Amino acid sequence: MGGGTNPVAAVVFDLDGVLIDSEQVWDEVRQAYVAERGGRWEPDSTARMMGMSTAEWSTYLTSLGISGTPQLIAAEVIDLVAARYGAAPPLLPGAVEAVQAIAAHHLLGLASSSPRALIELVLDRSGLRASFAVAVSSEEVSRGKPAPDVYLEAARRLGAPAAACVAVEDSSNGLRAASAAGMAVVAVPNAHFPPAADALALAAATVPVTADLTVDVIRAAAARPR
């Protein structure tokens, strides 16, 4: 796998904001959910939840003045997001083709803050299941992004050293998580919620849209000194 003096052991993709145009869907659903239940949405609520695991964001929502257990809140919000996705998840233009092209040369993993149920839905309905050797939800690790746990677990399941992997991320907390795991990072800045300058500075390469991801971009990111 890979080439030159900086072989790429694996490429690990984020899901929301990289493969599907969903960050704003999550935001809209959670804001409406809190409002309908008489809660208060804080100015930094959106930024705080980006990258959180299901357990983390559902617990956070209870602090906004709504009733219910985190488990119930999570189940209801996930059902609402799944209903918004419908039969056709909002795939970003060129995402499927980019993944398939890179999968022809490198082992792929997925490291997502989405719950397992939505990861499976997207993989099935996008036709991308065969492209990914592993998929990890932050539900399955101790901490969500910006902690590196989900990326480290993806590398472990892939049997690849994290330092020999390249991650593809769109958000501040995602960029921080992948970098903290020791991976080279390619940034695809989220159009709805652009990453902070300090997080974007962690990227070894940046492309404007997912369709611009290529094997050459991945390998160039891996070759940059860290």
Q: Walk along the chain (226 residues) and give the pLDDT tens digit of each residue.
A: 433 445 899 999 999 999 999 989 999 999 999 999 999 999 999 999 998 999 999 999 999 999 999 999 999 999 999 999 987 899 999 999 999 999 999 999 999 999 999 999 999 999 999 999 999 999 999 999 999 999 999 999 999 999 999 999 999 999 999 999 999 999 999 999 999 999 999 999 999 999 999 999 999 999 998 7
Query: Which residue in 143, 122, 141, 125 sits closest to 13, CA to CA?
Result: 122
Q: What's the pTM value of the predicted model, to 2 decimals?
A: 0.89
Helix or strand holding residue 167 (H, E): strand 165-169
Question: Does residue 4 come out as left (phi exceeding 0), alpha (psi in the -120 to 50 range) or beta?
Answer: left
- Catalytic annotation, pick one of 14, 21, 149, 170: 14
Q: List the Cα angle 136/142/144 in 5-degree steps.
A: 65
Query: Which residue in 47, 1, 8, 85 sits closest to 171, CA to CA?
Result: 47
79: annotated active-site residue: no
212: annotated active-site residue: no
